[in-house]
Amino acid sequence: MKGLFSALLVPFDENGQIIEQGLRDVVRFNIDVQQIDGLYVNGSSGENFLLSTEQKKQIFQIVSDENKGKVKLIAQVGSLNLNEAIELGKYATELGYDSLSAVTPFYYKFTFQEIKAYYETIIRETGNDMIIYAIPALTGVSMSMAQFDELFQNEKIIGVKYTDGNFFLLERLRKQYPNKLIYSGFDEMLIYGAISGVDGAIGSTYNVNGKQAKQIWDLCQTGKVAEAYEVQHKTNDLIEKILELGLYQTLKEILNVKGIQAGTVKQPMSSLDPAKKDAVKHLVEKYEL
């Protein structure tokens, strides 16, 4: 379960329906071209929180079918509706996903004990392993070292997707829990996670730039940090441009430019401004995507 995982993009048509062949092609592109080690399915990059339960199941099924056991699969099943999270967790487990993941409950000001019970319930009902999805910038939930200590006492909680800029807490977690999986969640900070000893990374830009991300990762593993920084600088130049144009819209358009039917984003997100399409083509050429 170590290495780089793409936070999988999902192609939608103008009516918000999943483009099945497009999704299959995105899976193949990640495996065959980007050569990633795994797929993180139905996370933020998959526009998960805009989807119905049936759409989420459809995505889990298509990805599992197309993957055919080639790379590791993590199913993000987190939901404010605990019954939905359990239903999705059972479904993904039956499909053979290697682990579940779940975003911390958000919007309402849940107590830590409520958050802990949420994870324990999903684990108990599904029987699968769990990777906590910690992304305080979007959920408003920041967990302390003591709270991670309490969660990690559960052997079925095997790690965390750590999308946080608190590198002191990251260092403390790594030192205290060498046997738990820690995934870096910020693509633009991959190098910092790598030199901090994380076990891998999960990111949206790996759908189009996975090969460079693997360069950064591999260079850090062999102690070539200065060389890794040069690749990270180039990667971050690209990420800056993608963010300026619109994150998910631009990532999908990059795939469209490359002949993969990546469709558009799901409303209420806005489709890519047609005036920006030439800029996206320029990115593909300039960064040799």
Rounded average pLDDT over 63-80: 98
Angle 82-94/53-67 helices, nearest 10 degrees? 20
Ligand-binding site membership of 202 (annotated): yes
Ligand-binding site membership of 204 (annotated): yes
Q: Catalytic residue among 91, 97, 118, 133, which?
A: 133
Using a 10 angstrom Cβ sphere, with 0-12 exposed, 13-18 middle and 19 or more buried, the burial of residue 50 is: middle
pLDDT tier at 193, thresholds 50, 70, 90: very high
Residue 263: what pLDDT? Answer: 98
pLDDT tier at 240, thresholds 50, 70, 90: very high
Enumerate the domain spans of the chain: 3-286
Residues 6+ apart with CB under 8 A from 129: 98, 99, 100, 123, 156, 157, 158
Ligand-binding site membership of 185 (annotated): yes
Rounded average pLDDT over 212-235: 98
Ligand-binding site membership of 187 (annotated): yes
Q: Is the distance from CB of 218 to CB of 201 less than 8 angstroms?
A: no
| Active site (annotated) includes residue 133 | yes
Please identify which residue in the block is written with the tokens 């030192």: 175
Q: What is the 3-state secondary structure (H, E, C) of 127-166?
A: CCCEEEEECHHHHCCCCCHHHHHHHCCCCCEEEEEECCCC
Q: Can you identify the CATH homologous superfamily of domain 3-286?
A: Aldolase class I (3.20.20.70)
Average pLDDT, the chain: 97
Q: Catalytic residue among 97, 118, 119, 161, which?
A: 161
C-beta atoms surrounding 85 within 10 Å = 24
Residue 235: what pLDDT? Answer: 98
